[in-house]
Amino acid sequence: MKKLIRILLILLAVVIAILAAAGGTAWWYLARVFEEPPMPTVAAETRRGIAGGEVVGYVDVLDTHAWLGIPYAAPPVGPLRWRAPQPPEPWNGVRESLVAGPQCPQRELGPGPGLAGDEDCLSVNVWSPAHVADSDRLLPVMFWIHGGGNHIGSGGTPLYNGARLAGTHDVVVVSFNYRLGPLGWLRHPALRNGDPLDDSGNYGVLDIVHALRWVRANVAHFGGDPDNVTIFGESAGGWNVVAMMVSPLAAGLYHGAIVQSGGLRMAPAAEAEEYGASDATSSRQLVDNLLQTDDPSLEEAGARARQAAMEHAELAAYLRSKSAMEILAAQAGAGFGTPTLFGDGHVLPDDLQTAGLLAAGRYNMTPVILGTNRDEVKLFQAFSEEVTERWFGIVPYRVRDPERYERETGYGSDAWKVRGVDSLATPLRAAQGRRCSPTGSTGTRCAPSVRSTSRASWELLTPSRSRSCSAPWTSSTGSPSSTTRTCPSATPCRAR
């Protein structure tokens, strides 16, 4: 009996130790996500003059300087809701940039209908090694696009503090917020005003482009090189990196791309607007949900009829009269609710999906890194009640069917790699080896496929050697130059 009690006590101690270790790890991670960092103090040496006014930041870890919560666009509220981002108002005096700006409106993680955020959320955060203040050398820029399904997340969470990346690798790091969910992506006929940017519905995408323009105009003041910007993101952030690759509006604003656990599927206009086009909540369904919330006695058919009877101006005013939280609460359907990333024909192409665009060379050509995690799907399966058993209904501790778990997560992770890496890398590799068109037996014409305001050059690929042909060109509008150069052989060229 004593031996049995001793064994039970040992097992209990092991369980407690495991729980403590798991709890400590979870607590560290959650603290990095949610814990409010201590208020820093102003460092006079971080004072900088940028477009809009002067800012001052603080000293962060690893001998870095940080500036948080700098507005890069006007608050998208009132008449600016569901419009392309506008420049921020200049400020007087020196702006203390010590705290990250509020996150954009979103659903809170966890059970229940929790909502959080502020529409005045379009801000950037910058980290730079302190030594660049005394140097004429500009450092590479890393531009981080956060994930979260384009419905949740923030560039200002402590988890994404850029000081360690900046201090360890001698780069300038920029993170930022962009509009999310139906405030960042919404297409409805009532919101159209004839401006292709406003009419696109891709306000979150336009925020990213606008933030990149802010970087181009201002990052040199923080020691960053505006001609050496790498965009990188994970999950939805990876999708948005690919969106920058295929958007003509992003041409010349970045020079390298890293896509982690990404991909891209552009939702067609019908899916964004019409009833029943997908499992997601279309804009028309969103309006019906709002009308039924206002009048609980209104049935589905009545809501449709009432919406159809409203003039566009009346309906636009109705939508803008609703609070951000009312808009978010009106979402329904599978996943997060409303669709994002629309093929509108101006901000994002509407005639081909991503693989087709890449195969045709219709993208902003730069070096690209693509990747996924080996066990990508296990993150999601771990929190599925069908897959795992839980202590106290919260903490997953055991897989119900290990064989099925390994099989399904293996296939799921492989499928994610096919979507997020292989299906993109294959046409990318083919396209970036085919940048010249034959001009006859005398040579090959090289024309720029990367629209940029900087010098463009191409590298000839031959089986035995590499030669180059170059054609400098500039364009203040970012449109392609007609400048061409005949290469000395009829072999393909690629951008370099």
- For residues 130 and 66, is the Cβ–Cβ distance under 8 A? no
Instruction: Identify the CATH assignment for 39-234+266-352 out of 3.30.300.30, 3.40.50.1820, 1.10.579.10, 2.60.320.10.
Output: 3.40.50.1820
Give residue-wise pLDDT tens across range 66-82. 999 999 999 999 999 99
Question: How far apart (Å, rounded) are the C-alpha atoms in residues 307 and 330?
Answer: 15
The edge-to-edge listing of strands for the beta sheet with 466-470 is 466-470, 457-461, 493-495
- For residues 261 and 416, is the Cβ–Cβ distance under 8 A? yes
For 206, the token pair is: 């336009």
Q: Where are the domains of the chain?
A: 1-35, 39-234+266-352, 437-495
pLDDT of residue 210: 98
For 255, the token pair is: 């020079």
Cα of first residue to Cα of last residue in the chain, in angstroms, is 76
Question: How far apart (Å, rounded) are the C-alpha atoms in residues 245 and 341?
Answer: 13
Q: Give the strand pairing for 436-438 and 444-446.
A: antiparallel
Half-sphere exposure at residue 285, Cβ-oriented, CA atoms within 13 angstroms: 22
Low-confidence ranges of the chain (pLDDT < 50): 25-29, 334, 435-496
Candidates 19, 25, 63; CA nearest to 43 is: 63
For the CA atoms of 392, 398, 401, 402, the dihedral, rounded to the nearest 10 degrees, stands at: 160
- For residues 366 and 283, is the Cβ–Cβ distance under 8 A? no
Question: How far apart (Å, rounded) are the C-alpha atoms in residues 184 and 138?
Answer: 33
- For residues 160 and 144, is the Cβ–Cβ distance under 8 A? yes
Question: How far apart (Å, rounded) are the C-alpha atoms in residues 233 and 316?
Answer: 33
Q: How far is CA 351 from CA 69, 348, 360, 361, 367, in A?
A: 38, 10, 12, 14, 25
* Residue matched to tokens 């599925």: 384
For 184, the token pair is: 């960042």
SS3 of 461, please? Answer: strand
pTM of the model: 0.81
